[in-house]
Structure 1
Amino acid sequence: MGAAGVARLHGLFATYKPPGLHWKHLRDTVELQLLKGLNAGKPPAPEQRVRFLLGPVEGSEDKELTLTATSVPTLTNHPLVRGPAFTSLKIGVGHRLDAQASGVLVLGVGQGRSLLTDMYNAHLTKDYTVQGLLGKATDDFREDGRLVEKTTYDHVTREKLDRILAVIQGSHQKALVTHSNLDLQTQEAYEMAVKGLIRPMNKSPMLITGIRCLHFAPPEFLLEVQCMHETQKQLRRLVHEIGLELKTTAVCSHVRRTRDGFFTLDDALLRTQWDLHSIQDAIQVAAPRVAAELEKNLRLGLGTQQLHGPGWHGVNEGPSPALEGWTAGGAA
């Protein structure tokens, strides 16, 4: 396995993070499984060397001693002497999920860590399904938080909810144009806006590019949200604010990420697949798509940057601060 096994580990792959699992624990578990796979290969046969051993002369009755050339194994490189060949791997984590959330979590191994920064600089959108529950409010917007208020919700209808979601999407689309600093008077910028290709050129507040209701059965409702620069707490707060707009209250019972950039749930490895061969295969399958999508999106970002003029600085200001310290190798 050795160097050949490590060579096939450079790149990006997606995992499915279950709720209740911290992203650091997931990363450390993946690292442990990869190290176990890399060190599980059969060690090569030990090298032989010639040594002269002292022994009696055959057939001698006088118990004479002589030196005899003998081939013996060299044990300096034996795993029981040297220890495991691989003791740590550098693994980076992309856009994080908090402990309560679940869904697609992208990891980068080796040189793939630099691709995580490229993903961050490309300002790709992410998809979530967000479960809401009408009729109560908590201190942290989560269903299991400390209850602070209970309300009625009989007056809430699907039409009222859809109307509020349309208002939210419209206001965020205006904010997206503002944070992109585009001059929509130019034809190129207008065409990008029509195609939905406008992106902020730097860090911004949470921006929602699309939101709709997938299921409505009071007190429960399910939203699909496309957004960027979000945190899961902000998504839970969004559910709370929707409840207030509906003249009631609402809490978030679950947040699940279904897409992170060009990785979807179909790409995400389940916990039973966090082994060396499955991860190697996932990296190799994703590599061509990762290269093509990053090239396209980063070129799009640079093209948008040119619309601002020579004084604008955006996507290439250095590594993402959100990625600093997200490498494994024994330390978080």
Structure 2
Amino acid sequence: MNAPGPVGIALVDKPAGLTSHDVVARLRYHLGTRKVGHAGTLDPMATGLLVIGVGQGTKLLTYAVGLDKTYEATIRLGVATITDDAEGDETGPRRPADGISDDQIAAAVEDLTGDILQVPSAVSAIKVNGQRSYARVRAGDDVQLEARPIRVARFEVTGTRRQADGFCDIDAVIDCSSGTYIRALARDLGEALGVGGHLTALRRTHVGKWSVQDAGTVPERDAPKAAEDPSASPVVLRGLGEVAGGLLPVVPVGEADARSLRFGQMIHAPEASSPEDAGELSAAVGPGEDLVAIVEPHRGRLRPATVFPA
């Protein structure tokens, strides 16, 4: 019988220049397994926190994708681009932005804070008639995406730099719901101020309660595989029970109930829990923080929705 492959959740700090798929490919090679995925893409120009699932850990990514996120961004006012970031061609004329006051910026930022409707960037990965929006834009199509509700809990300007060439660069920290496009915020801020705008730098610092400060680096191409030199590996895998406890309510189960759940059988809800009142999914965790299953309430009992092998 083959030995089980690596299992867990890894936090990695993506450098600029790599796509999220590049990072997944590096970890597949480094960890010696094909079963690797991520919870939320970062553009190649962006840096910061990627949540990576490995082996059975990929099953938990579903519950991590929708977590709120925090970004550090730099927005340049004075010109728009086709991609809403620094990698795209400029669209329209440049407009002087160095005369825009702090009060004007603050008012425009306030209008982009809270529960708002946002039109995603046209070069996003959203599918339009079965094709990625960015692919249609590159093919020369005029793509118009529909606005969708998002929440920007914090849009805090932390620095303003007015440039000699007429641009105005704004540094900001943004707390937002999943599905928010920071490029689109930069675009909309520039439009609101009448000068155009685009994103020039982006770093994701938090996904839910996870911080980039706790993340490891992406293995180099020529780095030894983790199995060859585990002590030198920059990738740290967190246990599934620990991770699930940060994503869902926890229901402790004993060995007998753990065995039943893994056979696809329902169990009685432990007296300490009230899943019917919660009406939500929970993580059934056995002895030693062993994640057994994601369970859901059903007629006073708990039935497994997703099972994790021992």
TM range (shorter): 0.5 to 0.7
The answer to whether the 8 Å contact 1:136/1:150 transfers is yes
What is the aligned length?
Answer: 216
Distance 1:119 1:248, change over 3 A: same
The answer to whether the 8 Å contact 1:141/1:251 transfers is yes
- TM-score, normalised with respect to structure 1: 0.57
For the residue of structure 1 that corresponds to 2:116, the secondary structure is helix
Whichever residue aligns with residue 220 of structure 1, its letter is: D
**Alignment partner, residue 157 of structure 1:** 101
Q: Following superposition of structure 1 onto structure 2, how do residues 14-53 of structure 1 map, counting pairs within 5 Å?
A: 14-35=11-32
State how far apart, in whole Å, the 2-side matches of 1:167 and 1:31 are.
43
**Alignment partner, residue 116 of structure 1:** 61
The answer to whether structure 1 residue 251 and structure 2 residue 194 are counterparts is no
The answer to whether structure 1 residue 217 and structure 2 residue 170 are counterparts is no
The answer to whether the 8 Å contact 1:205/1:230 transfers is no
The answer to whether the 8 Å contact 1:16/1:270 transfers is yes
The answer to whether the 8 Å contact 1:207/1:230 transfers is no
Whichever residue aligns with residue 295 of structure 1, its letter is: L
For the residue of structure 2 that corresponds to 1:160, the secondary structure is helix
State how far apart, in whole Å, the 2-side matches of 1:133 and 1:16 are.
24
Whichever residue aligns with residue 96 of structure 2, its letter is: T
Whichever residue aligns with residue 245 of structure 2, its letter is: A
- Quote the offset at 1:163 in angstroms: 2.2
Query: Cα deviations across residues 91-116 of structure 1 (Å, max 9, x unaligned)?
Result: 12111112222211111111111111
For the residue of structure 1 that corresponds to 2:237, the secondary structure is helix
Query: Cα deviations across residues 116-136 of structure 1 (Å, max 9, x unaligned)?
Result: 11223xx32011111111211
The answer to whether the 8 Å contact 1:262/1:290 transfers is no
Pick aligned residue for 1:10 from 4, 7, 11: 7
The answer to whether structure 1 residue 290 and structure 2 residue 243 are counterparts is yes
Identity of aligned residues (%): 23
The answer to whether structure 1 residue 138 and structure 2 residue 135 are counterparts is no
**Alignment partner, residue 50 of structure 2:** 105
State how far apart, in whole Å, the 1-side matches of 2:250 and 2:155 are.
22
State how far apart, in whole Å, the 1-side matches of 2:242 and 2:116 are.
29
For the residue of structure 2 that corresponds to 1:161, the secondary structure is helix
For the residue of structure 1 that corresponds to 2:183, the secondary structure is helix
**Alignment partner, residue 128 of structure 1:** 71
Unaligned stretches of 5+ in structure 1?
36-87, 174-203, 307-317, 320-332
Query: Cα deviations across residues 291-310 of structure 1 (Å, max 9, x unaligned)?
Result: 3211249999x84879xxxx
The answer to whether the 8 Å contact 1:205/1:229 transfers is no
Distance 1:235 1:280, change over 3 A: closer
Mark the structure with the bigger radius of gyration.
Answer: 1
State how far apart, in whole Å, the 1-side matches of 2:190 and 2:199 are.
10
Distance 1:110 1:161, change over 3 A: same
- Quote the offset at 1:288 in angstroms: 5.8
Unaligned stretches of 5+ in structure 2?
118-147, 163-167, 252-273, 282-304
Structure with greater proportional helix content: 1
For the residue of structure 2 that corresponds to 1:89, the secondary structure is coil
Whichever residue aligns with residue 26 of structure 1, its letter is: V
For the residue of structure 2 that corresponds to 1:150, the secondary structure is coil
State how far apart, in whole Å, the 1-side matches of 2:196 and 2:34 are.
46
Distance 1:132 1:304, change over 3 A: farther
The answer to whether the 8 Å contact 2:23/2:218 transfers is no
Whichever residue aligns with residue 46 of structure 2, its letter is: A
Whichever residue aligns with residue 15 of structure 1, its letter is: V
- TM-score, normalised with respect to structure 2: 0.61
- Quote the offset at 1:216 in angstroms: 1.1
The two structures, once aligned, show a CA RMSD in angstroms of 3.2
State how far apart, in whole Å, the 2-side matches of 1:23 and 1:281 are.
16
For the residue of structure 2 that corresponds to 1:248, the secondary structure is coil
State how far apart, in whole Å, the 1-side matches of 2:237 and 2:29 are.
17
State how far apart, in whole Å, the 2-side matches of 1:112 and 1:127 are.
23
